[in-house]
Amino acid sequence: MPVSTKFSHQPKTEPLSNTDKILVRQRKMEYAGLMWLWAGSITLLAVGATWLHLSTDKEEELLINILTIVCVAPLGLFFTCKLVVSLQHFLRINKTLSVSNKQIIAGTLQAITVGLHKKTITYTIGDSIISVKTSNPLRSINSCNYIAQVPVILEILPLTGEGNLLLNITYKEVPEPTVITAPADKAMNQPFMASSKSILQLLKIFLFITLAFLIVCFLLIEQVRTSPLKASFLIATPLLAIAAYFAVSFALINRRTQNAKLKVSITGFITEIFASRYDGDGAAYTCLYWYRIGSQIIPGNIDDDRFAPGDYVRFVYLDNEKGTLKALISAEKHIPKCINYN
């Protein structure tokens, strides 16, 4: 257990339900996807660098060695570290999934606080303090607002070396939300898709950066002028690999959005609101909000602070069959407006 977790009494344990196992597998697949990404990046760098070294003349060897150390080695080390960390997370979750039971803590919710590094949330329930690691979509949050002094049931899964994974929290006095699911119209997907124009714009930016870097190297390093083709290949490969990563990310987002076949309407009380703040120019900043309605975490609109814990709302969003998309279409308050717990 993390140091910040303290139980006032031994929590109840139960086997994982099918819903719990789906949630844990989704977390595991996040790390599996990252493993493929970092492994593929390492392979591309290794193949490119190997080809250059095998096709290099002796007089060009010094140039290739310098460029390998400056351009390829740091990126390769970064990808390797990321791969090792993702593999460790994957193996720990896989082991926990096969042997662990979940823990259930019941009591009165006193407080919810965000950890110093924005990667943990701490629930104070009675005299128990339970710290849980954040996961998608709550990767980096600044603040949390919630309904306090109400009875709750918290379900967590202890992960070896990972802290606790939050499976669910039930507010006992809050009615369950009403969820209505219907087939989605394909036209609803378009506003959420990254346009091909924005993807091309991103690639143009990276191409400009690559060309600028090549020109600087050509002017400052004599060996680059001696063998410009091979030097350009070695310098451009890492930058273009980064551009390709972002382009593929956009393509995957579009694919997920195209696969959103469901329009979901959820009507219920907001119990928790999480906010991420992103600083902009000067004193300006942008806030992103997420709302807990029942067991669902639903993203809100940017800088939309209309809602508060206890508000009775209706959110309509697009979702895929796995329930992992949640692209918000509309959000509005309904009557009854709020619950008064004081």
pLDDT for position 202 = 62
pLDDT for position 339 = 53
Nearest CA among 277, 305, 278, 311 for reference residue 292: 311
pLDDT for position 161 = 66
Q: How far apart are CA 34 and CA 249, in angstroms?
A: 12
Q: Where in the chain is the domain with CATH 2.40.50?
A: 174-184+260-342
pLDDT for position 151 = 93
Q: At residue 338, what are phi and psi to the nearest 5 degrees? A: -160, 165
Q: At residue 81, what are phi and psi to the nearest 5 degrees? A: -60, -45
Structure tokens given for 228: 């410009």
Summarize pLDDT for 180-235 with one digit per residue, the tens.
888 877 655 555 555 455 556 666 666 676 666 666 666 555 555 566 665 666 56
The angle that helices 73-99 and 18-54 make with each other, rounded to 10 degrees, is 160
Q: At residue 77, what are phi and psi to the nearest 5 degrees? A: -65, -40
Architecture of domain 174-184+260-342: Beta Barrel (2.40)
With b for 16 or more beta-carbon neighbours within 10 A and e for fewer, the 303-312 pattern comes to eeeebebbbb
pTM here is 0.71
Structure tokens given for 263: 């329009």
Residues of the chain scoring pLDDT < 70? 1-9, 51-68, 70-71, 99, 117-118, 135-139, 160-162, 186-207, 209-259, 278-285, 323-325, 336-342
pLDDT for position 258 = 66
pLDDT for position 279 = 61
